[in-house]
Structure 1
Amino acid sequence: MTEQTTASPDKLKYAPSRYMRDRHPDLFSDSVSEVEYEVEREVLSYHLETLTNQKDETAFENFAQRLCEKFIAPNIRPQTGPVGGGDGKTDAETFPVSSEISARWFVPDNDKAGERKAFAFSAKKTWRSKIKADVAAIAGTKREYDQIICVTNQFVPAKKSADLQDELVKEHGISVTILDRTWLLDRVFKHGSMAIAVEELGVGKGTEKQTTKLGPSDTKRASELDALEAKIADGSQYQGQPAALVEDARRAALVARGLEHSSADVNGRFDRALRLARDNNIKKLELAIAYEWAWTSHFWHEDHLRTSELYDDVERLALGSDDANDLERLSNLLPVIRVSVHSGSMDASKGKLKDRTAALKSALEALTVQTNRPNNALHAEAMLLMTRVSEKGVEHRDDPLKDIWVSFTDVIKRAEGLGTFPFTSIADALTQIGEFIADSDEFDTLFETITDALAARSGEGEAATKNVQRAYQKLAKGLPYDAIRWFGRAVALLIKEEYEDDLIAASLGAGFAFEEVGLLWAARNYTLAAVSQEFSVFKRYGSIGALRASVLSRYFDTEFKLGRVPQILSAHELEMIVRKAQARTEGQRRRLGKVQEAHMMQIASLLLQTPVDKLGDIAQLPDALERLALPMSRTALLYLMGNEDILRTQGWIPEQETPRRR
């Protein structure tokens, strides 16, 4: 018997999309579905005119009262009794409310909210005599109404309405307002009250159609998606930049998901992104896209079989990696598949839990012994414990997890001082697990340990960011030695995953400060540390668009000042790869050309300083410069080497230019 046939009704209630929407509503559409009715003004006007023929006076009274509640006074109570006003002589009247309540209303003349108003609703064609009779009857009650409001389904000319109102005020001493069919139609068509007309009068039923009103987030998403698709469709946008194309295709899939497009549409976009990543052999992006597609299939589309199929793609790409961040994707997906099987949403044979769990644990265990990479090893150990929690929590629900919580606490304690250990993501995962751990001293100890660690890291990080600000202030004031001291205070405290950007800023600043005092090697080391940190983010997410070319430009400048040609060319090539991948607009492409030209002239000026007796050692360098698209640098070096004939043949030296003397 399969798990699907034995699952309890409670288990079958699990809805992944609802679970994710509750926790991350920002990832879902914020558009609102509305019902619109195709009712012409003339149609409603005719319907109002013929209400008496239809014996529908009560429907009109309900309709008129609801409009008055919306636009005049929310505190209306209807009178009970026969049609035409009941025993109380009014069709409705206001009831007293406190000023604290009325202050919250948004109706016209809110300052008159405390007044006592009487309402009379009439669908008779002889509107004048009916209004006079209603006002006389209401005034005869001696209830001291401040205002009488008469609502009629007939058209009343403005002059006649004003004259009658004045006449009634003089006769009864009470303010009278007459609202006719024009007022009713305006409330419906100009002030968004069609739903009241449909509900109370029945007009327009059968003409409704569902419309969508874009929310602010969806408005931005829709605009972004249109722009992305326009770029992807334009073959000229990605010349020599396959990574940029893949990233845009990936982003288009995620934006379409946020808009909650149909599953077929979203899946088609993910499939396109995955194919492009494979075709261009960009493994990091292929892994990221496969993982995001699997996550989407489960938590947006509740397509459990597709999630399982995509797990195979993620597993193929991640199992051979020695990076714990890659295996973390498997560690995140496996519990999802486990829940699908356990809840009966997927047959156990499709989940392949035993084989997949064994493969993941084996890969994680291999990383835990990498003593030369302590952050990576401890991260793998933490995920191994998470995998054990998932196993026991589902398959052996009665088994205690105390040993796991104790081991986890030890991992958190050993992580102290390991800057890039993912404290935040582990804390988030434990918080979700805590929903199912009612009473456990060991779990409470674990939770206290990790929250204490987060608090300490947060405090250190905040202090360090202030140190960085002070260091830059010192640098701006021409005090580089003071700046070095402040940067030094900051860097050690910022070696944390959640402060990556601040660490890069501090490392770059320290590089500037050391350069100011002439310590170029120290400047280079700090700058290289910033570059390394920048690429650790790229390695984790596979997005070249997230890299900052300015960091790489600073690295080029630092190497150039040291004058080491191989390192200079390497820094130049790295920066050009990133800038080309990010050059989407005409302005960005112009900027790329300017940077490339500046580098080319700098390298040319450096090469022209090469001693003549060293030229033989770099005989192959012109070919490398040609490959790196540095023609001016190559020309300068060839000229220095005495290869005028080559330069003349290739057109670099004009024919009329006489040869130099030897």
Structure 2
Amino acid sequence: MRQKRPYLFSDTEIDQSTAFPRASFEYHLETLTARKQEYEFEDFCRKLAEKELCPNLTIQTGPTGGGDGKTDAETYPVAAEIAERWWVGNPSAGRERWAFAFSAKKDWKPKLKSDVKKIGGTGREYDLVYFITNQFAAEKDKAKLQDQLSEEYPFRVVILDRSWIVAKVYENGHLGMAISALAIEGAQSDTIQKFGPRDAARSAELTELDRQTSDPERYVGARFQLASDCFRSAILARGLERPQAEVEARFEQAIRIADELGTTSQAMRLRYHYAWTAFWWFEDLPKFLKLYDEVEDRLAGTEQSSEAKHLHTLYSLTVASISNGRLKPESVNIAEKRRALVAILEPLAKNEARPNNALEAKTYLTLIKTHDAMHQDATDALDECWTDFSEILKASEILGSYPVDLLESVLGELGSVVDSPAFDNLFAELTDVIGQRRSHGAAGQANIKRAFQKLELENPYEAIRWFGRAEELLLKREYREELTEALLGSASAYGIVGLRWAARNRALVALDHAMMDFREDGDIDWLAWIAVKQLAWAELRLGRVPQALATLMLAKFILAALQPEGEIADQVEEDLISIEVAFGLLLLNLDVGQLGAISQLHDSFEEYDLVIPGMATLFTLGQHQALIEEGYCPEGQTEKDLNDFLQNWINVPGGDQMPSETMLLDQAEVEFQSNVLGCNIRVKSHTDPVSVGIAETILGSLESLMATSDESHVLPHKEKFRIVVLPDGEPDSIPSHRLVEDKGASYIEISHSPDFHQDSADKMQRYRDWLQELVVEIVCRFAIVRDIEGWMSKIAVNRPGIAGGHLV
């Protein structure tokens, strides 16, 4: 691993030739009393205990022990919020009372009994007593005395001898501290000759992370991020090649917090990385197998192939270890491990509703078959595997989110041991696919650049076209970030020209792509904040209170994970205030008939610390006194002061961009609208999620299509057009539509199944075909289309315009 991925390991060069020998250190411990170093030994024991057992120690006695406190050191109480941030020792030391006794006497057993008796006689409610001696203690003697004393006194007794001291000092990197505390003349620890650049960056980041995670006020309401940051500290410590005990303690701290939080996917990922570390860094196969089992347990029922890949990696390492003799076959039931992995992957591979996810699962299943065939040296079976991989590659050509880099990595590794014409043909196909995807990526990035230039030149409609070209080319997993940037740029362009449904849909798709890393790896990027901010503004400009509130709740979660600081934090705060002010304007614009529905909103605003919308709710409800009582306004404010403040709020710059109607979606039906080429399109829908989703899709698709159409081909002849969405379709059917004549006017009625889901590739495609047909028919109902064939051909070329409004 170090040869293949050197960047994961420490690049610091250390000269160990001058390090203080272990045998010399043991001799120094043996002869402490001859040099009258009892005080130095107590100081050393306390420092070692702080690093290995608990950091919350206070000194209780004098230099040679036995003072009035009866203990050499003991723990002091620490708040749970602080203790849980320790990666050293056990957080229970923060709430329990532990006592410590240190002894440098050669005859340590009488000293042990004497010290424990004194501690027991204090009447203090100790939970645990540690006795640390510089002498060797036989395991049999230790076990007997520990059991005997633990029964005799109301606390548990643990004996730590010279073997424990020496092991902790040398294995966990405490030699420098020991030399200093024990004043060992002429001795030195490892000498760093050259601090590598990677380690310099890691060390700085780890120091900052430790500062952040030790702050009990930093992660209030953001425990997911606390677990993530603790995990990051473990990865940094691993990269610095810190002692095994430290790296493991940091991993276990992260896992403990994730388990308490109850996020199964995060807890699984942390265990996977811990297992990978145990295997490659510490060669600790028993711990690796234990963690393998824990990962397997937490993946039962997963719907994500990107999560199942972790188990496949651990399975592959286990198979390889059995083959090369590192693991004995009887130490693990590899057949059962294979069965469990296949049982997870097969349902994913059969789920046609998620073709990218299914194809990734098929890849792992084929890799398992490949492992089997190579182990059995079955040439025909291997050729079948190469054929399966070839079919997977062909299928991936139309699936942008499939991880082709997975095949590139796997087949690249196999190429070092496989030499056959069938494999050569497969590898040639792989290089062709890679070349095409990289070519598309480069072209897509060039289109993004041109699109932003068009925005700067104040030509948003042209920008929309260029962004659309980029999106089509960047529908590849490896260009996820670039695709998100294109979608965000497109959302901005749509917003500039007032196509609010198209802007909203693009921002929502951008947010979905920006959060994919979070769903797969638990990481959140700043693009997610930009996307959720754009979505919040889009929902506010559409006047939709429930959707705006849900978006702001997600924004709070994203910001809790990102933990902005300095100037960035100031800018984020400014953005949030602007959004909240706009949200408040929606609430101030409510009709009298809507007031009863918002009384419960105030509690939600308080829960998520949305101060300005909370204030607007009280204003709207006329509860001016509550504004003062709840601290929104200073005491002494008069009714006139409040009314002046309200008027200034209503007249805030930019307020004229907010919609005239506020939607609470609290009734059985709702009506959405959009102006397309001067025609007011109104969609009346039930407020169930499926009906609302179809209505959003229709309006977004109409706006997207007409934004990229040649207006010279389309002449609107109606000022208004109506669409009705009804949840009365046949079960498990694709939505359908019909033209309805009503008193000389016509409208389109859409019927859909109440529980409509796009749960297969076929259903997805039929829904898209129906959507395109519907949108074209709607345009033809409110406008005259010149040269219908020419316009239709442009629609075919511009199909992303329709697909862009459709959220899969």
**Aligned mates of 1:235, 1:252 — CA distance in 2:** 17
Which amino acid in the other structure matches residue 387 of structure 2?
V
Aligned pairs for 1:43-122 (under 5 A) are none
User: For 1:394 and 1:517, how far apart are their aligned partners in 2?
Assistant: 62
Please state how far the C-alpha of 1:646 moved relative to its aligned partner: 3.6
Distance 1:219 1:415, change over 3 A: same
Match of 1:495, SS?
A: coil
Structure 2 unmatched runs, 5+: 20-185, 644-808
Asked if the contact 1:27/1:258 (under 8 Å) is kept, the reply is yes
Quote how far apart the aligned CAs of 1:383 are: 0.8
TM-score by length of 2: 0.56
**CA distance 1:267–1:395, shift in 2 (3 Å):** farther
For 1:295, the equivalent position in structure 2 comes to: 276
Task: Work out whether residues 576 and 596 of structure 1, in 8 Å CA contact, stay in contact via their aligned partners in 2.
Answer: no
Pair 1:377 & 2:358 matched: yes
Q: Say yes or no: does 1:222 pair with 2:182.
A: no
Show CA shifts across 1:394-440 (max 9, x none).
Answer: 255666411111111011111111000010122111110111102x1
Of 431, 444, 465 in structure 1, the residue corresponding to residue 445 of structure 2 is 465
Corresponding position of 1:330: 311
Paired with 2:398 and 2:248, the residues of 1 have a C-alpha distance of: 42
Cα pair 1:544 1:581 within 8 Å, conserved: yes
Which entry has the higher C-alpha Rg, 1 or 2? 1
> Which residue in 2 is equivalent to 1:173?
none
Alignment of 1:224-623 (within 5 A): 224-396=205-377, 400-438=381-419, 440-544=420-524, 548-583=528-563, 585=565, 590-623=570-603
Deviations 1:328-383 (A, max 9, x none): 11111111001111222122232221011011112211111111111111111111
Residues 225, 418 of structure 1: CA spacing in aligned structure 2 closer, same or farther, 3 A cutoff? same
Partner of 2:11: 30
Q: Aligned letter for 1:365?
A: E
Deviation, structure 1 residue 610: 1.3
Q: Deviation per CA, 1:493-551, whole angstroms, max 9, x where unpaired?
A: 11101000110011011111112222111111111110010111210111236663122
| Matched position secondary structure for 1:417 | coil
SS where residue 15 of structure 2 aligns? strand
Alignment-mate amino acid for residue 322 of structure 2: V
Letter in 2 for 1:339: A
CA deviations over 1:10-68 (Å, ceiling 9, x no partner): xxxxxxxxxx1111111111111236779xxxxxxxxxxxxxxxxxxxxxxxxxxxxxx
| 1:231 Cα offset (Å) | 2.1
Partner letter of residue 587 of structure 2?
A: L
Q: Percent identity?
A: 33
Amino acid at match of 2:299: A
Task: Return the alpha-carbon distance in structure 1 between the equivalents of residues 378 and 442 of structure 2.
Answer: 41
* C-alpha distance after superposition, 1:273-325 (max 9, x if no partner): 11111112222321221111111111222222221111111111223201110
- Do 2:488 and 2:510's aligned partners in 1 also have CA atoms closer than 8 Å? yes
Q: What is the root-mean-square deviation of aligned Cα atoms in Å?
A: 2.4
- Whole-Å Cα distance in 2 between the matches of residues 377 and 23 of structure 1? 30
Distance between the aligned counterparts of 2:204 and 2:629, measured in 1? 52
1:626-649 deviations in whole A, cap 9, x for unaligned? Answer: 223223322222222233354454
Partner of 1:184: none
Summarize the Cα distance change of 1:35–1:638 in structure 2 as closer, same or farther, 3 Å threshold.
closer
- AA matched with 1:424: D
Distance in 2 of aligned mates of 1:618 and 1:234? 38
8 Å CA contact 2:467–2:486 kept in 1: the answer is: yes
More strand by share: 2
CA distance in 2, matches of 1:546, 1:478: 26
Taking the aligned partners of 1:37 and 1:334, their CA distance within structure 2 comes to: 42
Inter-partner Cα distance in structure 2 for 1:652 and 1:303:
58
Between the aligned partners of 1:494 and 1:467, the Cα distance in structure 2 is 10
Residue 224 of structure 1 and its aligned partner are, at CA, apart by 1.7
Counterpart contact for 2:390–2:429, Cα < 8 Å: yes
Q: Which segment drifts farther, 206-215 or 589-598?
A: 206-215
Matched AA of 2:508: L
Separation in 2 of the partners of 1:263 and 1:253?
A: 11
Higher RCO (C-alpha 8 Å, min separation 6): 1
Which protein has the bigger helix share?
A: 1
Whether the 8 Å CA contact 1:319–1:360 is kept in 2: the answer is no
Retained in 2: the 8 A contact 1:405–1:442?
A: yes
One-letter code aligned to 1:255? L
Distance 1:620 1:37 in 2: 71
Give, in angstroms, the shift of residue 265 of structure 1.
2.1
> C-alpha separation between the residues in 2 aligned to 1:280 and 1:23?
36
Q: Is the 8 A contact 1:244 1:544 kept in 2?
A: no
CA distance in structure 2 between the partners assigned to 1:35 and 1:645 by the alignment:
73
Contact 2:537 2:579 in 1 (8 A): no
Distance 2:271 2:526 in 1: 19
Cα distance in structure 2, aligned partners of 1:33 and 1:553: 48
Gap change, CA 1:383 and 1:605, over 3 Å in 2: same
